[in-house]
Chain A
Amino acid sequence: MTPVRLAIVGCGAIAELGHLPGAALCPDVEVTLLVDRDARRAQTLADRFGIARVETDYACVADHADAACVALPPHLHRASAERLLASGTHVLMEKPLATNLVDAEAMVAAAQASGRVLAVAMMRRFARSARYLKALIDSGMLGRIERYVARSGAADAWPSRSPFTFDAEQAGGGALISNGCHDVDLLLWLLGPIASFEFYSDSPARMEGNCLLECRMASGAVATIEVSRTRTLANMIRIDGERGSVEAPLMGEAALILPKGAARDLLSPADPPPLDYAAVMAAQLADFAAAVRGERLPLADGRVGRDMLGLVEQCYAGARPLELPWDLPVRVPEAL
């Protein structure tokens, strides 16, 4: 089968660490073009990954590729998607789909009008642990799901090449939209729609470093998602059902099933194998390529990204302050 000719638009950290290594493992795509406004950066990556062509403007993508993976800062997503789709290019858009719901709706409409694929990079769905959780829950083995807890946080630096994550206009918000969208997406994918929720944030400026989403799902399950950019959390999901529980990394290679009543220490603690990140990115590209070939819809299409933005906007609109008991005002004695 001829691989889908793919352009990568935006040569920042995720292109270097995610999409290009993933593409190298994925026979369904062939990267024919790298685009970045910084030609030297694009050429550096092109040399490293053996890509034949670099450009500084995505206007020419349709001349060299059938599809584009767009990894530009979020405030550039709508304009780039509309232009690429109009030129007949299928689009895999990095998360979040856009910085706001209006833009996301316009992008979904543009995809419909063009008849091209618009997918959003909800790459955690392609991790083996997540696919396994999905199969486990859908099989009914755990019984009715009662509780879902995900704690997601890393204080380490992500080697971002531009400062957009520090600008609410460019990023659309903070921890929730930038990182938490993956955690919320897994919750919705695994447990279905949310009936009601409360959202707590540590930033009135939509630049939250920490946030907490407490949900009641339409299924009746209760869910908690904690997201942090200032703390390194457990980075695990625990799901309790009426017949047992399962624990898995947010993105990993294994999961631990605990039948009701089985103590956690019953099994010897074995370290799970390390995540094969490139394989996850390759699986995402393979899914996108299948959609481009018209075999099926992508696992997360533009509507998934749009609905996420609808939820994110509701979260921000109704945000309550995160309770941090040690964070009291600093009292200054009457200055002399």
Chain B
Amino acid sequence: MNLHGKTAFVTGGSGFIGGRLVEVLVRQYGMRVKTLVRATTSAGGGAFRAAAAGAEIVFGSMLDRATLDAALAGCDLVFHCAYGTHGSVAEQREVTVEGTRLLARAAGAAGIGHFIHLGTVASFGGNTPPCVDESFVDARLWNWPYARDKLDAERALDQEARAAGMGFTILRLGMVYGPYGTSYTVGPLHAITHGRLALVDDGRGVSSATYVDDVIQAMLLAAMRPGEGEIFMIRGPDRVTWRQFYQVYDGWIGRDSLVSLSKAEMIAASRGRWKAAARALLPATFAALKASPAFRRSASGLPYVRQLYARLGKRMIGPVVARNPGGPAPVERSTQLIPEIMIDYFANTSEFSIDKARSKLGYAPQFDLKRGMDFTEQWARWANLIR
């Protein structure tokens, strides 16, 4: 499909990858772009970035069919970059999976020519072989809700698109960084300017680092050919470990902030922090319950509640103390840990092959770590993230 003059609906256009895509579609291809933003009351910098690029902002929910129908009217293409980022795990899943299903159904009904969907290499699971290609399937899905939900979103799209005869392509992305990147640029920069960053297994895991403009290249290439329901893996040109990746950020601010923990230490530290947080909440919880007449009324009807309150309520919970004086040194509170469910992702040394994307899409990543990070650094200074 020749993109010039076409109309696209970009979900997640106020986000990192979608925001960059909007800029490129409008400026380089003269496309009309509509993008979805949840609400005026929560429309922050990302929505203004999309508006500056010239996108038409549609306010509404991914889960509202009428909003989607209105946004899709007159569109030739859909780029689906949005996924659930707010609320509970269940609410996020609802947006990621059911939102994709609803959008695919609406897009099929609207006669969209090609639906380009962003997936993640995390969806391959935590037990991948040394070299992974698109055919790999792991029946045992891991517990990371994001990875699981993104896979289920792909399945929902596959089902709906085939039923409607709509062309679609899935791009499974490596870890994406660059200007306006939240998880792997702004987040870690904040972590290392305010404390330390923990790596698992000394950061030997392979990161699949991908500069955002390489993702955009892949999206453009996908959009220019027919959507044949294929999956393509997309990452940067070089093999980058997590330590190599985060060391670049350290270098910008002249720090040595990386802390190495084994898997077991990471899990212990992560659980310890949860326990400490829960313990810190208990006194306030007791106080709030005690102050609530409704709670007192209901609780006083329960047997033994007075005795229980006498034992627990008065003693409260003491300050957090080291339980294991002989164990490893405690991790500083300001150190950003890897959540337990993501440890396998960061420890994974598999390389995700982009041979298929190279041969069938013509994908040719332009940004090795040095080049991508040089641009990212210029942006980070401009964005007042580093001085």
Contact = CB atoms under 8 A, between A and B. Distances in A.
B221 A159 contact: no
A207 B54 contact: yes
B382 interface: yes
A139 interface: no
Interface in A320-336: 324-336
Contact of B225 (A157, A165, A166, A335): A335
A22 interface: no
Given A202-B52, A333-B364, A163 B57 contact: yes
Contacts of B41: 13, 157, 159-161
Interface string A157-175: 1011111011000000011
A204 interface: yes
A233 interface: yes
B216 A330 contact: yes
Contacts of A327: 23, 179
A114 interface: no
A229 B40 contact: no
B382 A203 contact: no
A209 interface: yes
Contact of A156 (B45, B220, B362, B378): B45
A157 B52 contact: no
Contacts of A333: 217, 221, 362-364
Contact of A163 (B40, B180, B216, B220): B40
The interface centre, meaning the residue of B52, B359, B360 with most chain A CB atoms within 10 A of its CB, is B52
Given A326-B179, A326-B379, A335-B224, A208 B45 contact: no
Interface in B357-379: 359-364, 366, 375-376, 378-379
B48 A230 contact: yes
The interface centre, meaning the residue of A327, A329, A330 with most chain B CB atoms within 10 A of its CB, is A330
Contact of A330 (B24, B48, B382, B384): B24
Contacts of B217: 330-333
B216 A166 contact: no
A336 B363 CA distance: 9
A44 interface: no
A209 B40 contact: no
What's the dominant secondary structure at chain A's contact region? loop
B19 to A, nearest CB: 9
Nearest to B44: A157
B28 interface: yes
The interface centre, meaning the residue of A163, A202, A324 with most chain B CB atoms within 10 A of its CB, is A163
B232 to A, nearest CB: 13
A209 B384 contact: no
Interface string B57-69: 1010000000000
Contact of A233 (B180, B221, B384): B384
B375 A336 contact: no
A336 B375 CA distance: 28
A229 B378 contact: no
A174 B28 contact: no
A333 B216 CA distance: 12
Interface string A125-157: 000000000000000000000000001011111
B235 interface: no
A203 B384 contact: no
Interface of A: 13, 151, 153-157, 159-163, 165-166, 174-175, 202-205, 207-210, 228-234, 324-336
17 contacts: A161-B40, A162-B40, A203-B51, A229-B45, A229-B48, A230-B48, A324-B382, A326-B178, A327-B23, A329-B24, A330-B213, A330-B217, A330-B220, A333-B217, A333-B362, A334-B362, A336-B359
Given A156-B44, A210-B52, 19 more contacts: A13-B41, A157-B44, A160-B40, A203-B54, A204-B54, A209-B49, A209-B52, A230-B49, A230-B52, A231-B383, A326-B375, A326-B376, A329-B24, A330-B28, A331-B217, A331-B366, A332-B217, A335-B224, A336-B361
Q: What are the nearest 3 A-B pairs in CB distance?
A: A155-B45, A209-B52, A326-B375
